[in-house]
Structure 1
Amino acid sequence: MNRLHDKVAVITGAGSGIGRAAAELMSKEGARVVVADHDTRAAEETAALITAAGGQALPLTVDVMEEDSIADMISATVKEYGALHVLCNHVGGTNPRTDLDVLRMDMDEFDRAVALNMRSTLLGSRHAIPHMIRAGGGSIINTASVAALVGDVLQTSYGAVKAAVVSITKSVATQYGPQNIRCNAIAPGAVVTPALENNLPQEVVDSLKRGNALPYLGSPEDIGHTMVFLASDESRYLTGQLLVVDGGMTAQSSAAPGRRAMLPA
């Protein structure tokens, strides 16, 4: 359980859901973890879970839409632990009530989605890279989405900015690979998180499950384990890539669920 021994990892959005799962899993693998979230209490709760299990964690409050806040997060990390090896740019999201189709979408929500998802990813990397270079290299892990890969009737802004996250990932990997910095993105499919449970009606959740090749939706730990892999030296030759972790949602034809009934018993 030492795949991340001596590594320092910063995870934004670590107060709940996938971010919390990733923080706990990285700690179990030996990392010293900075638990960053806009919700101070949630960050402290995650850090308490980690320390209670014998790990090291530093809770920090961060607003990823403010560059100064991101810079302070990175500076506090290096001041506390002396280095930075892993950055998970995980914070993101959109408002499904206002991020609608092209004709009806709220352009203020589009601007917010750009800042929350795309700009925060760029700025997190911008402030982390110099410290990673000093540490001899590092791994940046960006959270994209299957929304970057397929069209949808809603969430136009979200799909666009997550596609931009993939592009930023490839640029960072190309530009800083010679300094031994790897950058990869994860595209989660439907994952049972508080955000999913609070924003989607049950009939939509059921339709997402039917759209998977696997007979279940993902858990935060499913994505967290992928983050651990990308943070570890096991993925040392993997960079500039998008790992789609979606239960087969984007692998199968939209007709596949209905056609299953045609299979012989």
Structure 2
Amino acid sequence: MAIVTGGAGGIGAAATARFVSEGAHVVVADIDEARAKEVADRHGDKAFACAFDAADNESVRALMDGTAARFGRIDVLYNNLAQLSEVAVTQDTTVVDTPFEVWNDLMAINAGSYFAACKFAIPHMLANGGGAIINTATGCALAGDVRRTSYGASKAAVVALTKYVATQYGKQGIRCNTIAPGLILTETLKRASPELLNLMSRHILTPRLGQPEDIAALAAFLASDESGYINGELIACDGGLLAHLPQTAEIEDLMNAQS
């Protein structure tokens, strides 16, 4: 039994499809109940929609307890949501200019809800001998940027939380790992300006950009017994975005101009 939070989004929907294809039953959890139901309905009786509010700890508790009560267990928790409201995106800028309320909101959703989900899911996993928790970070948690301070810091907290969960419960059969997605062509990103996509694409070390299915495949691996000896790790799925020196694209342009 798997729970996918943020299940109505592009990566969440892809993960749901992949988990179902691997034989799992999936709870598609999202604040947008209608979209969650749309995703779940694609998979018949293998997926079930559940509305919850990641900002409300009791709502997170109800999701975990309700899933365990209905299905008897929680085997996989895929924490995949993020605060991406217009306010969060536009006002999360520099350290000086970001309002406290934006910082607090992103910390509460992006880090706090992951803490709550782990806190309430782990007892159910322990009762059944263990489970797999997969958290979602970002490359912004691993390197600084000129904006999105709160987002990057909140996702860095997720990386640390992952290691604490693995350390505290690994011997009891719980594995907790983090995926750091790079540039992934979700519907939201497809609406971004072509100039932005072209700029970022220059720093990708693969012939194509990432797809939600790329993240879903990695999540399925981390949920499976095949990754049984991987715990407390951060795995980037970013096309090599952070694998090279920052000036690589510009040096390549210079070399091409001189050739």
| Corresponding residue for residue 36 of structure 1 | 29
Q: Does 1:144 align with 2:137?
A: yes
The one-letter amino acid of 1:248's match is: G
The answer (yes or no) to whether the contact 1:142–1:184 under 8 Å persists in 2 is: yes
How far is 1:260 from its partner?
2.8
2: CA distance between counterparts of 1:27 and 1:197? 26
Runs of at least 5 residues in structure 2 that lack an aligned partner in the other structure: none
Q: Does 1:251 align with 2:243?
A: yes
| Corresponding residue for residue 185 of structure 1 | 178
1: CA distance between counterparts of 2:220 and 2:147? 31
How many correspondences in the alignment?
254
1:114-263 alignment, distance < 5 Å: 114-198=107-191, 200-261=192-253, 262=255
Partner of 1:97: helix, strand, or coil? helix
Partner of 2:205: helix, strand, or coil? coil
How far is 1:207 from its partner?
1.2
How far is 1:57 from its partner?
1.0
What root-mean-square deviation, in Å, do the aligned CA atoms of Structure 1 and Structure 2 show? 1.4
Query: Which of 88, 96, 109 lines up with 1:103 in the alignment?
Result: 96
After TM superposition, which residue ranges in structure 1, 4 or more long, deviate above 3 angstroms?
A: none
The one-letter amino acid of 2:147's match is: L
Runs of at least 5 residues in structure 1 that lack an aligned partner in the other structure: 1-7
The one-letter amino acid of 1:20's match is: A
- How big is each residue's C-alpha offset from its partner over 1:89-113, in whole Å with a ceiling of 9 and x where there is no partner? 1111342210001121122111110
2: CA distance between counterparts of 1:72 and 1:100? 34
Partner of 2:43: helix, strand, or coil? helix
How far is 1:124 from its partner?
0.2
The answer (yes or no) to whether the contact 2:203–2:241 under 8 Å persists in 1 is: yes
2: CA distance between counterparts of 1:143 and 1:228? 13
TM-score by length of 2: 0.94
How far is 1:252 from its partner?
1.3
TM-score by length of 1: 0.92
Partner of 1:252: helix, strand, or coil? coil
| Corresponding residue for residue 4 of structure 1 | none
- How big is each residue's C-alpha offset from its partner over 1:67-97, in whole Å with a ceiling of 9 and x where there is no partner? 1111111122112211111001111134221
Partner of 2:69: helix, strand, or coil? helix
| Corresponding residue for residue 5 of structure 1 | none
| Corresponding residue for residue 75 of structure 1 | 65
How far is 1:195 from its partner?
3.1
The one-letter amino acid of 1:65's match is: A
How far is 1:215 from its partner?
2.7
Aligned-pair identity (%): 41
